[in-house]
Structure 1
Amino acid sequence: MKLKNILALNALAAALMACGGGDVVLQPTNIDNSVDNSVVSGGGSGDNNPCANYALNGQTFIGSFDGNNCFYDATFVGVNKPLMADLNIPFISGVHIFESSLFVGEDVTPADIAAGTTVPRAGDGPTLTIAAGNKLAFSNPSDYVRISRGSRIIANGTSAAPIIFSGYSDLVTNTAAEDAVSLWGGIMINGNGITNNCTEAERTNGTCSVQSEGQESYYGGNDNTESSGSLRYVVVKHSGFAVVEGDELNGITFNAVGAGTTVDHVQVYNTFDDGFEFFGGAVNVSHAVLVNVRDDSLDFSDGYVGKIQYALIKHAGNNGNRCIEGDNISDKRPADAANPADWLIAPISHPVFSNLTCITSGNDNGTHGDSEGFLLRHGAEGEIYNSIVVSPAGGNECFEINSTGTVKNAEDGKITVDSTILACSETVKNAGASDLPAGSSFNTTAFFDAFSNNFRDTEAASVLDGIFTADMLMASAAAGGGAITVNMTDVSTLPENADMFLENPSHFGAVTADDDWTAGWTLGLE
């Protein structure tokens, strides 16, 4: 049966004029006009239709082209029809518009595993490839991109031609406010990496399956080296969606994603929840930009052990929570017999950060809390080097450790913060009595100061020039008048850097005027 699903473009145009923007659901018109063994979704053919297409089970599916944009209805891909074949999205000067979510690959549930289905491993599933310079628009707040275990996304843009994901009213009707969020959901990658939300037995026997946020799907495995693809020069705009309170889609969610995945030069701009959230796994990130994120810009938990170098974070004046919020066990997992009160369940979250610039705003009434710097809690370990946190006058704390498990980790030498500058009104917030293990006298300020290359001051002016690290490697002036020199740490020699991902930096913070890797492809840094 040859079925040509043609979008009624005239009706669509009229609907858009009537609604004046906002969330739009594209309704396809199905016309049965001939007979053979193929199915084509959309209009046009051959050289007249440059839209993405794929073949599956003897049928061909193709988007509908209106002379500028490509439309993909729910018969092409959607919540109830995940992509089960490789798909290349070619460059067009217009916009690729999706009526529904773009789900890639088979989602294997615990029930499927119990029935004998094997969880796909990296490369077993389909690959979504997106050409540089493309713009992908999604029609509803609950629409998002989801890459299932075993599938991959290859989205390699360039500084001159980044790949942009956003909402319909931003990219198509141009009616979205600049600070809009929740126009669509975001990107979720479900990997086969390691999470402490599974037991060692589950990881070993291939039954590890942790339910994700958003639409029910599953992630997790036993391979922290797996590859879920590549994101290069990608911008995620106006994203984030609260399914229910505590179950929210982020700009990009990395669910147990392995270190074989490339994430380099990626921005999240104006999102409702977190910018990047890591639930376990070991994916590394280089050259990240997170601007106007309403919750945490970098949020990790559940055994995440990746590395992040060169991350620029800038809070909005009236919103944003923490630059880093780090847990061993997510606060969405209550402490119980399986998740002990000290939050110390293996494998322990232990990421390494280098060259972060965190620009807080002093906001006290954001959607998700106050604008703050770095918080480690709930049993997290980790290392932070060569980084800068600043706040305006009257701003909030820029470094904090709380919860008994994390304090114990700090006392045991499992947390390092070195070659780091806090230029904030409240540089450090000390742990409270309830956060201290029995008999502990831990003091967070003393802990930070014990690292010889750290520096604390209440003035940001001599540290940053806009988003750029100040030319001098002098953090600030001491009260007595002499300049304080802060030495950098060569993170390329760290034991955790066996894969040589981290490089020896030439400056503190994320970016300098002499090497502005943000130029030409990012938003909101003026």
Structure 2
Amino acid sequence: MTFKKLVLITAMASALGALYGCSDGDETSILIEGDTNGGGGDTDGGDVAVSENCPEWASAKNKDDDGNDVCALPSTIMEDRTLSSNIVWYLEDRVTVGNGNREMSATQGELASGVAVADVTLTIDAGTAIKGKKGTFANLLITRGSKIMAEGTADAPIVFSSDDADDTGSGEWGGLILHGYAPHNECPTAADSACNIDAEGESGFAAGYDADDSSGVLKYVVVTEGGYEFAPGDEINGISLVGVGAGTEVDYVQVNSNSDDGIEFFGGTVNMKHVVLTNNLDDSVDWDEGFSGNLQYVLVVQNTPDTFGTLIEADTFGSDAFLSQPTILNATFVAKSGESSPPALFNFKAGTGGYVFNSILTADLDSTIYQACIFVNGGDAQGEQNTHLVVEDSILDCGLNGIGGYNGETETVSETGFALTLMGVATVDPALDDNYVPGAAEASLAGPIDFVALMGTYADLSADPEYLDATDYMGAVDPDATSLWFEGWTIEGSL
């Protein structure tokens, strides 16, 4: 088996026509070479060549069929390490960077045992392939106090996948988990208290009190085929962010075909731009436990019959010390119904807040499943409507055959009849349909978004004007752009 994952670059016209697989025009390919057979080896019965260039802190595996060295990472990394692109790096099980997932004392940077928290940096070079052993819990965990510096480029993204020859499966390995010291609504509120939140995927403890904490950089990073079920009904998200702070840089990231959520936020204040979430089987975006970051230029497409999740599932589970209330600006959400699809694209529940501006929600209009763009689910969430739960200057086109959904005037369906007022919401003529592609129907607004005015209207708005761009259009793609920001580095065929 030869591992040859192609990232397709198309001309703009071709990319617009190819979002759902209708391709014409010129195209070029970048070949990303990686591991092929779960640690290397000759699958044709010939001589097996052992990798020759593994550092002393990694385990040499058999070379892959293309002659690339394959080196297995140790289960724990406690010193600064660099993963170079001339080697395929192999995860045989969980790989833990640092020791900050142990119980912490009330002093940040000190474990309950009195031992200092390790300050470890894992650097990943552009173009590097990191491959998890298929059919295992293999995952990469960055703990509090440590950092991942994964900085790819559009021409050489960093790709996390399983160790098979394609990039189309789901649930084949674990995923990427980042911890940080940022706030979580279950952290004790008493002065000088330790914060130790039991984190996702049995990954130890996370969170703290530093909103500006940094867990490193994820830039031009693709995570695909993940979501291994490590216990009955319990899978790993593509990227899990537990108490991750605003000092972390996340830009140009794709999660593809994860069997659980694409990205899930557990508290924290991390911001993101240029996020692509494609064909994840559970929720594409999930936030909980007091998340209050900012997301801009978000493109979500659920175009698989196997999906059973929503495009956003949101709650404030944990405690009511403070709400989950992130800000989303310039997002496009596209849903194609599957047999198990939920009846709405967004499910706001359990007391969540959240602010959505300049965005587009659209679903397959022929669907007999999608009944609404948005459900506001449960009295707690309904109580936040129009104060902490807001959708404004956006396009909604999700209901089918007049059953539920946006009614063309002022409201969406909520399960018990409460209404979320939608300020400045427009429908589209002609209506968006299942051929909708980003960049084709984004709508211009009268002027750039006015954060000062919005903060005057919504006193607790989480928007960070220093981070967010003041755009004057709806959707993830500037309709006047001469190129598409998701071109060239995302998984071929995922858009």
TM tier, shorter chain? 0.7 to 0.9
1:130 counterpart = 2:108: no
Structure-1 separation of matches of 2:211 and 2:430: 41
Write out aligned runs for 1:87-106 (5 A).
87-92=81-86, 95-106=88-99
1:307–1:472 distance in 2 versus 1, CA, 3 Å: closer
Question: Deviation at 1:71?
Answer: 2.9
1:164 counterpart = 2:150: no
Report the count of equivalent residues.
Answer: 427
Could you report, residue by residue, the CA deviation over 1:280-333 in whole angstroms, capped at 9, with x for unpaired residues? 000001000000011111100100000000000001230332111111116xxx
Question: Deviation at 1:512?
Answer: 4.3
Question: Deviation at 1:108?
Answer: 4.0
Partner residue, 2:374 = 399
1:458–1:105 distance in 2 versus 1, CA, 3 Å: farther
Question: Deviation at 1:162?
Answer: 0.5
RMSD (Å) for aligned C-alpha atoms:
3.1
Which of 214, 220, 230 aligns to 1:243? It is 230
Structure-2 separation of matches of 1:458 and 1:393: 14
Question: Deviation at 1:96?
Answer: 2.3
Could you report, residue by residue, the CA deviation over 1:398-457 in whole angstroms, capped at 9, with x for unpaired residues? 11212111111115x222210110012253452233xxxxxxx7323xx22xx1x11246
Matched residue SS, 1:290: strand
Deviates more, 1:300-309 or 1:422-431: 422-431
Partner residue, 1:518 = 486
User: CA contact under 8 A between 2:314 and 2:349: conserved in structure 1?
Assistant: yes
Matched residue SS, 1:405: helix
User: CA contact under 8 A between 2:304 and 2:338: conserved in structure 1?
Assistant: yes
1:461 counterpart = 2:432: yes
Partner residue, 2:405 = 427
Deviates more, 1:255-264 or 1:501-510: 501-510
Structure-1 separation of matches of 2:283 and 2:171: 16
Structure-2 separation of matches of 1:12 and 1:472: 50
Write out aligned runs for 1:414-493 (5 A).
414-425=388-399, 426-428=404-406, 430-433=413-416, 442-444=418-420, 447-448=421-422, 451=423, 453-456=424-427, 460-461=431-432, 465-470=436-441, 473=444, 487=446, 490=449, 492-493=451-452
Q: Identify the structure with bigger relative contact order (alpha carbons < 8 Å, sequence gap 6+).
A: 2
1:231–1:115 distance in 2 versus 1, CA, 3 Å: closer
Which of 340, 351, 360 aligns to 1:388? It is 360
Which of 257, 261, 264 aligns to 2:248? It is 261
Structure-1 separation of matches of 2:299 and 2:115: 36
Partner residue, 1:358 = 333
1:399–1:128 distance in 2 versus 1, CA, 3 Å: same
Structure-2 separation of matches of 1:456 and 1:118: 59
Using the aligned pairs only, state the percent identity.
29
1:502 counterpart = 2:468: yes
Question: Deviation at 1:69?
Answer: 2.7
Unaligned runs of 5+ in 1: 1-8, 19-41, 55-59, 331-338, 340-344, 434-440, 474-485
Partner residue, 1:294 = 281
User: CA contact under 8 A between 1:323 and 1:373: conserved in structure 2?
Assistant: yes
Could you report, residue by residue, the CA deviation over 1:41-90 in whole angstroms, capped at 9, with x for unpaired residues? x864xxxx2x4x37xxxxx55655748333334xx512xxx100000111
Unaligned runs of 5+ in 2: 1-36, 407-411, 456-461
Which of 161, 180, 185 aligns to 1:191? It is 180
Matched residue SS, 1:205: coil
Write out aligned runs for 1:92-241 (5 A).
92=86, 95-110=88-103, 116-117=112-113, 124-140=118-134, 141-169=136-164, 174=165, 176=166, 179-201=168-190, 204-241=191-228
Deviates more, 1:490-499 or 1:155-164: 490-499
Structure-2 separation of matches of 1:181 and 1:68: 27
State the TM-score, normalized to the length of structure 1. 0.74
1:61–1:516 distance in 2 versus 1, CA, 3 Å: closer
Partner residue, 1:377 = 349
Question: Deviation at 1:350?
Answer: 1.0
Give the structure with the larger helix fraction.
1
Structure-2 separation of matches of 1:356 and 1:500: 19
Could you report, residue by residue, the CA deviation over 1:88-107 in whole angstroms, capped at 9, with x for unpaired residues? 11121x62223333221114
Structure-2 separation of matches of 1:511 and 1:307: 17
User: CA contact under 8 A between 1:328 and 1:378: conserved in structure 2?
Assistant: yes
1:415–1:43 distance in 2 versus 1, CA, 3 Å: closer
Could you report, residue by residue, the CA deviation over 1:207-242 in whole angstroms, capped at 9, with x for unpaired residues? 211112223411111111100000000000101122
User: CA contact under 8 A between 2:71 and 2:88: conserved in structure 1?
Assistant: no
Structure-2 separation of matches of 1:206 and 1:129: 32
State the TM-score, normalized to the length of structure 2. 0.78
User: CA contact under 8 A between 1:378 and 1:406: conserved in structure 2?
Assistant: yes
Could you report, residue by residue, the CA deviation over 1:358-403 in whole angstroms, capped at 9, with x for unpaired residues? 00112242xxx42742221111111100000111124412112121
